[in-house]
Structure 1
Amino acid sequence: MADTEQRVRERATWLALSLIPEVGPSTFYRLVQGLGSAEAVLEASTETLTQVPGISLQIAQAIASFPWRDTLHRELRVIETRGLGLMRFGDEGYPELLAVIHSPPPILYLRGTMRPEDRMAVAIVGSRTASPYGSAVAEQISAELAQRGVTIVSGLARGIDASAHRGALRAGGRTIAVLGCGLGVTYPPEHAELADQIASQGALISEFPIFTPPKPSHFPRRNRIISGLARGVVVVEAGLESGALITANDALEQGRDVFAVPGQVTSRLSRGCHQLIKAGAKLTEGWEDIWEDIEPQVATSAQIGLDLTLVRSPLEPEETLIVDTLEAGPMQIDDLIERMQLPAGQIASLLLSLMLKGMIEELPGKSFAKRLRPPRNRV
């Protein structure tokens, strides 16, 4: 019972810290790394917070003055009332592909269900003002991939996104919509029925508090999650200023494949895709062009029980020493500090780094253990 209560409290404090508007993912991890836990951050004084590298006085004051207990209570009540789910980074079920991107969302809100097979996902994105050609291509590629067990990820936007979701639904497959607003807001409003269908055949997810409205600054953050959930990103119709190109750039930075569907040379909606093709994206005429690249990953995942083959950062010498120390079994943080003869703050920082890299896991009672099946490196 005590272990369960501890886990519930830790998840609640992570949620509370993520509710503070001034605390984005990078700031979140910097604070937790610096002070050891989300609860310590929430209880810290302004002076203590400013001692964390990169934390300005303005951010420290915002955190110290934030009424997090009342705000957390309201958020949890709405989550329960609406039957939503929460995923904390490091929890079982948190999307493993997403977990290895830079500054993954500390908290994800969930409507619907995430399943192990969603590890085999492809994102399809493009223009909000899609042509009939673009919409038809996106829906057809989506349906063909979904029929082969690929989960389709997109952003619930007008145009190509909506066509991608509908293609997967039509084929009876799974699809995930990543929102640039909270799950309590339907945007665009005409996609309310589509959102319901996605929730019944997949999931809607967001890193934003439930009633957060859509804002321009939210969509680049949403785009990194779209690409982070997928093994590859397919761009169907995109102007040179399209947000779909941001998603493609995120995919490249995350080490994911990028595919682009060519279009009419006279159409402005073709320029972004043609630019991607010139830069090295795979020219894509149909689902086969995508499938031949991801099919080996499907086979590899099946052979290893859907374990992932991801690029991981090399370990620092002190990190390697901690992992080696934990070979003997779980240890509490105080015992690690004594064994390693390093400052408590540095140990806390190293432990968080190792959790982000998937090498260790936190157990109840501030104990840490080496993961029995650490992620493999891509060779």
Structure 2
Amino acid sequence: MSELPALLRLHQAQPKLSQLQALLDRFGSFSEALQAGETSLRETAGLTPWQQQQISAQEIGSRVDEALDWQQDRNGAYWQQWLSYWDEDYPQLLKEISDAPPILAVRGDLALLNDPQIAVVGSRNASKTGMDNAYDFSRFLSQQGLCITSGMAAGIDTAAHKGGLQGQGKTVAVLGTGLDRVYPASNQQLARDIAAEGVMVSEFPLGTKPLAQNFPKRNRIISGLSVGTLVVEASLKSGSLITARTALEQGREVFAIPGSIHNPQAKGCHQLIKQGAKLVESGEDVFAELGSILQLALQPEAFSAQTENPEGSTAESSKLLSLIEFEPISLDELLVLSKMPLSSLQSELMALELQGKIEKLSAGRWQRIR
């Protein structure tokens, strides 16, 4: 956008979306707002003394130049750019949250930000079982076309990103630092892999250090980009519970994997389940629970055709419907009888459910209703 230099100057003060929108509403552009002076900025947007200090700092010009140079520096491998709330490519799902980040630094495949995503989060000090679960769930869901979104922290986040890279859905990493920094340092190679095959984003200016207060803040972006949040392993004081809470506040689904009652890293998940999070034991559970949301997001053309032809007379759906009787039948039985790939089977089941021909019961069972 032509306003990028002015917006990057304001970005140094880490303004809220509401503050920037107030400036636009009054002055019509960020450039005009900056020319109006400190008093007008303060009165219009309610900038704090710290924010005003950042905007008027002596080195502000060099900071903006560095940010513009960063966007131009493709490094021969990764696409880097600044993405504002007012740009067409800004992720639509993230726009729906009340405190959407006004500007994002993006490195990698920008298009992934508008793909259907599932957040996978959990403890930094995860058990081997937790790490295996995060990897396996993420790999399965990515293979179904879902993008895996997490915070690139140690532990569960790291395993989730690695699993996501194994499927066609790939992965999104939301950082709590500037995008020119990698934290923890042990994830340097993972960051390169994500930039090459997935996408990395941050709402913070370049050079932002790994400050403790920034990580809970970035969690609303992780959940905001996603149709649902899966908590793999978390203690009662885990930051993952913040992500789960923001997901609920944003009207998104929350899933939790149960664990041993003796494992302190499972107590956060158990608390979420008590509070209404959906208990899941496999990636299939997550995929099935999201139901029509994913049917529309992952197969919009098929969904459109089914809407126009509600009887859904495809050969696959007719074959599958003939196997489902008025007595419950399990997903495993249907997998054997239909000889269909799991992802295709689940898609056809969702289509038949949307048409009102079958219904999903507990324990992964289905039955015909007409």
Q: Give the TM bin, normalised by the shorter chain.
A: 0.7 to 0.9
- Aligned pair 1:209/2:205, yes or no? yes
TM-score scaled to structure 1, two decimals? 0.73
Contact kept in structure 1, 2:137 and 2:282, CA below 8 Å: yes
1:166-205 equivalences under 5 Å are 166-205=162-201
- Aligned pair 1:36/2:36, yes or no? no
Q: Counterpart of 1:72?
A: 64
- 3-state SS in 2 of match to 1:215: coil
| Structure 1 residue 11: Cα displacement | 2.5
After superposition, the Cα gap between the structure-2 partners of 1:158 and 1:59, relative to the gap in structure 1 and judged at 3 Å, is: closer
Return the letter of the residue paired with 2:28: G
| Structure 1 residue 61: Cα displacement | 5.4
Q: Counterpart of 1:51?
A: 43
| Structure 1 residue 91: Cα displacement | 1.1
Q: Distance in 2 between matches of 1:226 and 1:158?
A: 16
- Aligned pair 1:303/2:300, yes or no? yes
**Root-mean-square deviation (Å):** 2.3
Q: Distance in 2 between matches of 1:86 and 1:172?
A: 25
Q: Counterpart of 1:269?
A: 265
1:309-348 equivalences under 5 Å are none
- Aligned pair 1:250/2:243, yes or no? no
Q: Counterpart of 1:229?
A: 225
1:5-44 CA distances to partner (integer Å, 9 max, x unpaired)? xx4x2133222211225x3444333443444322223222
TM-score scaled to structure 2, two decimals? 0.75
Q: Counterpart of 1:12?
A: 5
Q: Distance in 2 between matches of 1:259 and 1:133?
A: 17
- Aligned residue pairs, count: 299
Q: Counterpart of 1:279?
A: 275
Q: Structure 2 unaligned segments of length 5 or more: list them.
A: 305-370
Q: Distance in 1 between matches of 2:115 and 2:44?
A: 35
After superposition, the Cα gap between the structure-2 partners of 1:28 and 1:157, relative to the gap in structure 1 and judged at 3 Å, is: same
- Aligned pair 1:125/2:118, yes or no? no
Return the letter of the residue paired with 1:289: D
Q: Distance in 2 between matches of 1:178 and 1:37?
A: 28
1:152-167 equivalences under 5 Å are 152-167=148-163
- 3-state SS in 1 of match to 2:110: coil
Contact kept in structure 2, 1:180 and 1:206, CA below 8 Å: yes
Return the letter of the residue paired with 1:75: A
| Structure 1 residue 226: Cα displacement | 0.4
Q: Distance in 1 between matches of 2:138 and 2:99?
A: 29
- 3-state SS in 1 of match to 2:273: helix
Q: Distance in 1 between matches of 2:284 and 2:114?
A: 20
1:60-80 CA distances to partner (integer Å, 9 max, x unpaired)? 455355654332112211332
Q: Distance in 2 between matches of 1:47 and 1:237?
A: 48
| Structure 1 residue 50: Cα displacement | 2.9
Q: Distance in 2 between matches of 1:50 and 1:91?
A: 25
After superposition, the Cα gap between the structure-2 partners of 1:57 and 1:159, relative to the gap in structure 1 and judged at 3 Å, is: closer
Q: Counterpart of 2:110?
A: 114
| Structure 1 residue 145: Cα displacement | 0.5
Contact kept in structure 2, 1:146 and 1:168, CA below 8 Å: yes
Specify the structure having the higher radius of gyration (Cα): 2
Q: Counterpart of 1:329?
A: none
Q: Structure 1 unaligned segments of length 5 or more: list them.
A: 1-6, 308-379
| Structure 1 residue 116: Cα displacement | 5.7
- 3-state SS in 2 of match to 1:170: coil
Identical columns (%)? 40
Return the letter of the residue paired with 1:47: T
1:41-67 CA distances to partner (integer Å, 9 max, x unpaired)? 322222222322634556445535565
Q: Counterpart of 2:320?
A: none
The counterpart of 1:63, out of the listed 51, 55, 58, is: 55
Q: Which moved more, 1:27-36 or 1:258-267?
A: 27-36
After superposition, the Cα gap between the structure-2 partners of 1:197 and 1:65, relative to the gap in structure 1 and judged at 3 Å, is: closer
Contact kept in structure 2, 1:46 and 1:57, CA below 8 Å: no
1:89-123 CA distances to partner (integer Å, 9 max, x unpaired)? 12121111111111211111111112268421100
